[in-house]
Amino acid sequence: MRTFIAFLSAVVLGWGLISTPALARNEIPTTVNFKSTPAGSIQPYLDRVMQRVTEFRLANGIKFIVLEQHRAPVVSFLTYADVGGADEPDGKTGVAHFLEHLAFKGTTRIGSKNYEAEKPLLDRLDRLDAQIRAAKATGKQAEVAQLQAEFQKVEAEAASYVKQNELGQIVEQAGGVGLNANTSTDATRYFYSFPANKLELWMSLESERFLFPVFREFYKEKQVILEERRLRTDNSPIGQMMEAFSDVAFKVHPYRRPV
């Protein structure tokens, strides 16, 4: 349950973000034939930007797309995982969204006061959860109540080892902003910005949280996601309408499933 393979297909780094009007004002190409360019088109400026894009791939398969800007000493990152809700098998929907949340829970070094003591408790929670589901399936209510009481006790003990939001604190203390992520039907995206001299820190944090994740607070986070669904869909007429529309529009396509 706690094994996670991150399919990272691209990382976008931007040194300073600028608006289209600023780009138009300061980056007018000298070689553009304006007679052949539609009035108001931003294509000349997009072409100029594309000339400054660098792409390369590391030996581990991760592709980098870099747009270098020097208007501000900032580096902005977007880690793009080429996997989303549409890639999930029937009966296991929501996994991509769940993994997005769990990617912020830390690693073997980040997020724990004592991982060696914490790990047996996390493993025990997984075993208890399996036992609870098995007891519910066979209607053993007394056993379910006993197991749930033990589960709550172990969960509280595991929580005592958690350093809440340590990843976010590391990012913030290094001057980072905008730490967040989102999941769609086709992709999962993780993003934030750092001062330009913190590029190595970003590389260290991202590689660690995707190579050595620890899905602590797994069962609590499940309830957070269920509450998100209640807010965005179950208690939202627009959310219900969009879900019903997708179910009708994509009868034989995985886009019909909610993320």
If you compute the radius of gyration of the chain from its CA atoms, what whole number of angstroms results? 23
Residues 177 and 229 in one domain: yes
Residues 117 and 104 in one domain: no
Higher pLDDT: 158 or 259? It is 158
pLDDT in tens, 228-258: 999 999 999 999 999 999 999 998 899 998 8
Residues 106 and 174 in one domain: yes
Grouping H, G, I as helix, E, B as strand and the rest as coil, residue 116 is helix
Q: What is the pLDDT of residue 13?
A: 52
Residues 180 and 118 in one domain: no
Residues 174 and 102 in one domain: yes
Spatial distance between the Cα atoms of 103 and 209, rounded to a whole number of angstroms: 7
> For the chain, where are the alpha helices, taking DSSP H only?
20-26, 43-50, 95-102, 115-137, 141-159, 166-173, 199-211, 218-229, 237-249
Number of domains within the chain: 2
How far does CA 217 lie from the centroid of its chain? 16
- How does residue 4 score in pLDDT terms, banded at 50, 70 and 90? very low
Q: Answer whether residue 207 is part of any domain.
A: yes
pLDDT beyond 70 at 28 = no
pLDDT beyond 60 at 181 = yes
Spatial distance between the Cα atoms of 196 and 194, rounded to a whole number of angstroms: 6
Residues 224 and 101 in one domain: yes
Closest CA to 188 of 87, 256, 258: 87
Find the CATH number of the domain harbouring 57: 3.30.830.10
Which residues, including other chains, have CB under 8 Å from residue 7's CB and lie 6 or more apart?
A: 81, 82, 83
Task: Give CA angle at 112 (195, 155), nearest 5°.
Answer: 135
Residues 53 and 77 in one domain: yes
Q: What is the pLDDT of residue 106?
A: 97
Q: What is the pLDDT of residue 92?
A: 87
Domain end marker among 127, 142, 161: 161
Q: What is the pLDDT of residue 26?
A: 43
Q: Answer whether residue 30 is part of any domain.
A: no
Q: What is the pLDDT of residue 114?
A: 98
Phi, psi of 133 (to 5 degrees): -65, -40
Over residues 32-50, mean pLDDT: 74
Q: What is the pLDDT of residue 36?
A: 57
Domain limits at 198? Answer: 49-110+165-256
208 to each of 84, 108, 204, how far by Cα in Å? 21, 9, 6
- How does residue 169 score in pLDDT terms, banded at 50, 70 and 90? very high
Over residues 177-197, mean pLDDT: 97
- How does residue 213 score in pLDDT terms, banded at 50, 70 and 90? very high
Spatial distance between the Cα atoms of 34 and 41, rounded to a whole number of angstroms: 10
Over residues 137-142, mean pLDDT: 96
Q: Answer whether residue 157 is part of any domain.
A: yes
Residues 59 and 103 in one domain: yes
Stretch among 14-23, 102-111, 136-145 having the lowest mean pLDDT: 14-23
Q: Answer whether residue 25 is part of any domain.
A: no
pLDDT in tens, 91-104: 888 999 999 999 99
Spatial distance between the Cα atoms of 95 and 85, rounded to a whole number of angstroms: 8
Q: What is the pLDDT of residue 207?
A: 94
Higher pLDDT: 189 or 39? It is 189
pLDDT beyond 70 at 115 = yes
